[in-house]
Structure 1
Amino acid sequence: MNDQPESVNRTRTSVELFAGGGGLAMAVHEAGFRPLLFNEFNKRACQTLVASARKTLGTDGLVEIEDIRPKPPAVGQPAPLYPADVQDLDLTAFEGQVDVLAGGPPCQPFSAGGVAKGDEDKRNMFPAMFKAIRQVRPKAVICENVRGLLRPSFADYFQYIVNELRLPHQQRVDSTRWQDHDADRRRSQATRPHHHSYPPAR
């Protein structure tokens, strides 16, 4: 990756969920995006983010907040850090103002080194990612996870994730199983007229 010049005009914006120590956030920043918000649950990871914000994230610091309904900071203002459960976060104030929503939901539910409970694991935060997408309506989404998510035992849920990212605004009711939600969406898509045809991703 080429270094961005110091004078780069960061008119593009980003929001980072599940930020960890800031690795993905650093890459997004180096690509020329101005961070509007960070979220991370782990206290030590939050300490790392705060300590390295100026050097690695190009901000004048991070301001920890308790407000579950934060607002985007003005240009030149520190990006807020919400150091708590992303499931409580309301990002509706960011709607239409975010170019890239990035994040890596916890990998433990899908890792080959864990118990591999998948969507039944309470640490599965993909639904929180989908909620954020619906609220923010970003231009693009970066969502990373472990290779274990591609195992055959998770094939159906992985396809559900793909479908959610393709059609994030068809919200799932909490009492509805993801399998039923996905089936309803597939039926809905099958009955709609198709004006465009796209080749499958390779």
Structure 2
Amino acid sequence: MGEKVFLIISLFIFSLSGHCQSMLTGQILSGKTQEGIPFSHIYISEFPEFIAISNEDGRFVLRIPQGAEQISISHINYRKLTLSLEEFKKQAVIYLEENEQSLGEVTVEFFTPKSLMEKVIENKWYLNFTKYPRSNFSTGSISERLTMYFISQEIPSDLQFFPASSLVRPFVSDFASDFNDEFWEDENFIPLPQWIIENLK
């Protein structure tokens, strides 16, 4: 008997909760082109877990829970729009304005090992290698050891170039033994930066 009463109460609560929720349908269009905006996110501001995503035509169906007051629409290419639930219900079609903010030009550069080392040397003072070497690298890392080695080297005053292989190879060989001779090309020389030449005088 007790189980039957519990079942009846549960069904009643479930039925009641169903009546507390409704379904909202609509369409999201571009204010500029009048075309549907796919993949728009439509969600309840107070309950973000209640969310819908528009289809290719910009159409959506959103479940509205009890207590919902505001609905927000967002899309990466359009301005976010927030409306009260009552305003939303009055409009079968919602128009979004394009986001005027655009990403700046992106330049992708390819660095060879030689050019990358030149960049490191060029930006030596910005990286504060000499003042904060242990703050920039994990203690005992290859980078720290390589930097400390580079800083402590006594470079002959008549030397204008030095081979990258002689600088890097002693450290890498401790961690990897499968580097072949082609990796250490003899012609891979890096010109000494001006600040080193000046310090040698």
Which TM-score band (shorter chain)? Answer: under 0.3
The structure whose Rg is larger is 2
Structure number having the greater strand percentage: 2
Q: Which structure would you say has the larger RCO, counting Cα contacts within 8 Å and 6 or more residues apart?
A: 1
TM-score by length of 1: 0.19
